[in-house]
Structure 1
Amino acid sequence: MGILSRTSYIIRSKLNSVLNRAEDPTETLDYSYEQMRDQLQQVKRGIADLTTQKKRLEMQKRRLEENVDKHNDQARTAVQQGREDLARRALEKKKTKMNQIEDLERQISDLQQQQDKLIEQKNTLQSRIEEFRTKKETMKARHEAAKASSQVSEAVTATGEEFEDVGRAIERAEEKTEDMEARAAAMDELQESGAFEDVLSDKDDIDRELEQLETDSGVEAELETLKSEMGEGGGETDAEPAGDVESEAVEEDIEDMEAEVDDSEVEAELAELQDEENA
């Protein structure tokens, strides 16, 4: 196979592949059906033209037959009048017309045979068209049903180009959402651990530990003060008779404690706290 032949073969195969992909079976069936109907119309026009020609020949034959009768009468009249010459001429014309009539009859017979043949072909073609139309509608219905079923299957199984794009979009959205959730969780964890404060603050670990110790010592000092105050108040409460109602006793103790805590004690506690802060 030469280069040109191979090139031509490849081009035809490529075009055939493209046409196969672009072909719509329903459109192809409709086009074929219309082509068959056009052929049927052509056959009908051919029958009509043939019938017209035959009718013209039949009309011409009738005129010739009328002339034959006329020439026959003329010959009879001429014989009666003793004009054999006129009778002979009339008979000659009669013979010519009869020959023409025979020729027309042969042509009419041929046209009639052609007309019968075309009518038979027309009937056969019309039957095939009706049969094809039924098959065409059936095939179109099957094709549409198969197409719908395929689309539904693709939708259910999430296949096909469009559904694959949708699936990829969902996957990307899920990945972005997971990244945002992970980032938010990381921010919360850093916030709780104080990492952000460490970044914003200029204090180091030693400064923060010393501050924590000072806070703890202040709390312990205040706790001891409260204990001592509660101890003094508790002794006075024991000296009093025990009552039946505990709530009243508690209220009296609180009032006694408030009465015993004077300004000097507050000043002493404040001085103690200041000494601890300065230590």
Structure 2
Amino acid sequence: MGILSRASYVIRSKLNALLNRAEDPSETLDYSYEKMRDELQDVKKGIADLTTQKKRLEIQRRRLEENVEKHNEQAREAVRHDREDLARQALEKKQQKMAQIEELEVQIADLQETQDTLVEKKNELQDRIERFRTEKETMKARYEAAEASTRVSEALSGVGDEMEDTARAIERSRERTEEMEARAEAMDELADTGAFDQALSGEDELDRELREMRSNSEVEAELDTLRAEMGKESPAPTEREADSEVETVDADTDTEAEPADVDEEAVEAELEELSEEEQ
């Protein structure tokens, strides 16, 4: 197969597939039904024209028959007046008219036969059209039912074009939602670790520990000042406080140590007890 032949074959195949996809059986059936009805109208028109021609010949035959009767009367009258010559002319005209009548009768008979044939064909075509109309409606109903069933099946199975687009949209939305949830969890985790506070304050871990140590020192200095004003001596450091001082010293030497957490509620409770004892 040559290149041109192959190209022609491919083009015809593509066009055929395109036409098959574009063809609507309902529209095709309706078009065929209308074509058949047009053919029926043409047959009826042909029968009407043929009948008109036959009627014209019949009218012409009746006139000739009237002339034949007229020529008979003329011949009788001529004989009564002993004018055989005129009677002979009248009879000759009668014979001519009768010959024409015979020719017309043959033509009329042929037209009648043709008319009868056309009427039979018209009736047959009309019956065929009626059967086709019934079959057409049945086929259209079956096609519409099959089409609806196909759409439902595609919707349930998800193989239709629209369902594929919907499935892809749902998948993209799911991926986007999971991404946003993961991002939100990551933001919460960073907020719990104080990463945002450090980023906003501009302090690193070493700066934060040094600031807390200075704050603790200032608290102890104010506490010593209060003891001095009230004439109280500083209590001897307990084992826990000694350990705390050791930890403070270690913090000075090792900047990676973390300060002890202060129980604010316990401190407030002790302060309230002292206030009640003084009162």
Taking the aligned partners of 2:132 and 2:98, their CA distance within structure 1 comes to 50
Is 1:131 the counterpart of 2:114? The answer is no
Q: What are the within-5 Å matches in structure 2 for residues 183-202 of structure 1?
A: 183-202=183-202
SS at match of 1:159: coil
Letter in 1 for 2:170: I
Taking the aligned partners of 1:125 and 1:258, their CA distance within structure 2 comes to 120
How much is the aligned-residue C-alpha RMSD, in angstroms? Answer: 3.0
Aligned to 1:68: 68
Taking the aligned partners of 1:87 and 1:32, their CA distance within structure 2 comes to 66
Letter in 1 for 2:160: G
Structure 2: segments with no counterpart, 5+ residues: 224-233, 239-270
Taking the aligned partners of 2:25 and 2:273, their CA distance within structure 1 comes to 106
Task: After TM superposition, give the deviation of residue 196 of structure 1 in Å.
Answer: 2.1
Q: What are the within-5 Å matches in structure 2 for residues 73-92 of structure 1?
A: 73-92=73-92
Cα displacement string for residues 19-45 of structure 1 (whole angstroms, at most 9, x for unaligned residues): 111111100000000000000001000
Task: After TM superposition, give the deviation of residue 193 of structure 1 in Å.
Answer: 1.4
User: Aligned in 2, Cα 1:62/1:6: closer, same or farther, shift over 3 Å?
Assistant: farther
Aligned to 2:205: 205
Task: After TM superposition, give the deviation of residue 81 of structure 1 in Å.
Answer: 1.4
User: Aligned in 2, Cα 1:81/1:197: closer, same or farther, shift over 3 Å?
Assistant: same
Using the TM superposition, name which of 67-76 and 190-199 deviates more. Answer: 190-199
Taking the aligned partners of 1:10 and 1:183, their CA distance within structure 2 comes to 53
Using the TM superposition, name which of 202-211 and 167-176 deviates more. Answer: 202-211
Task: After TM superposition, give the deviation of residue 201 of structure 1 in Å.
Answer: 4.1
Task: After TM superposition, give the deviation of residue 180 of structure 1 in Å.
Answer: 0.6
User: Aligned in 2, Cα 1:206/1:7: closer, same or farther, shift over 3 Å?
Assistant: closer
Letter in 2 for 1:127: D
Letter in 2 for 1:83: R
Taking the aligned partners of 1:4 and 1:116, their CA distance within structure 2 comes to 54
**Identity across matched positions, percent:** 66
Task: After TM superposition, give the deviation of residue 95 of structure 1 in Å.
Answer: 0.5
User: Aligned in 2, Cα 1:45/1:6: closer, same or farther, shift over 3 Å?
Assistant: farther
Aligned to 1:243: none
Taking the aligned partners of 2:59 and 2:16, their CA distance within structure 1 comes to 56
Q: What are the within-5 Å matches in structure 2 for residues 146-185 of structure 1?
A: 146-185=146-185
Taking the aligned partners of 1:260 and 1:123, their CA distance within structure 2 comes to 127
Aligned to 2:118: 118
Task: After TM superposition, give the deviation of residue 16 of structure 1 in Å.
Answer: 2.3
User: Aligned in 2, Cα 1:81/1:4: closer, same or farther, shift over 3 Å?
Assistant: farther
Is 1:99 the counterpart of 2:134? The answer is no
Aligned to 1:56: 56
Q: TM-score, normalised by structure 1?
A: 0.74
Greater relative contact order structure (CA < 8 Å, 6+ sep):
1
SS at match of 2:38: helix
Taking the aligned partners of 2:186 and 2:127, their CA distance within structure 1 comes to 80
User: Aligned in 2, Cα 1:24/1:206: closer, same or farther, shift over 3 Å?
Assistant: same
Taking the aligned partners of 1:139 and 1:57, their CA distance within structure 2 comes to 48
Aligned to 1:16: 16
Aligned to 1:239: none
Q: Aligned residue pairs: how many? A: 233
Structure 1: segments with no counterpart, 5+ residues: 229-253, 263-279
Aligned to 1:44: 44
Cα displacement string for residues 156-185 of structure 1 (whole angstroms, at most 9, x for unaligned residues): 222211111111111111111111110000
Q: TM-score, normalised by structure 2?
A: 0.74
Task: After TM superposition, give the deviation of residue 209 of structure 1 in Å.
Answer: 4.4
Aligned to 1:237: none
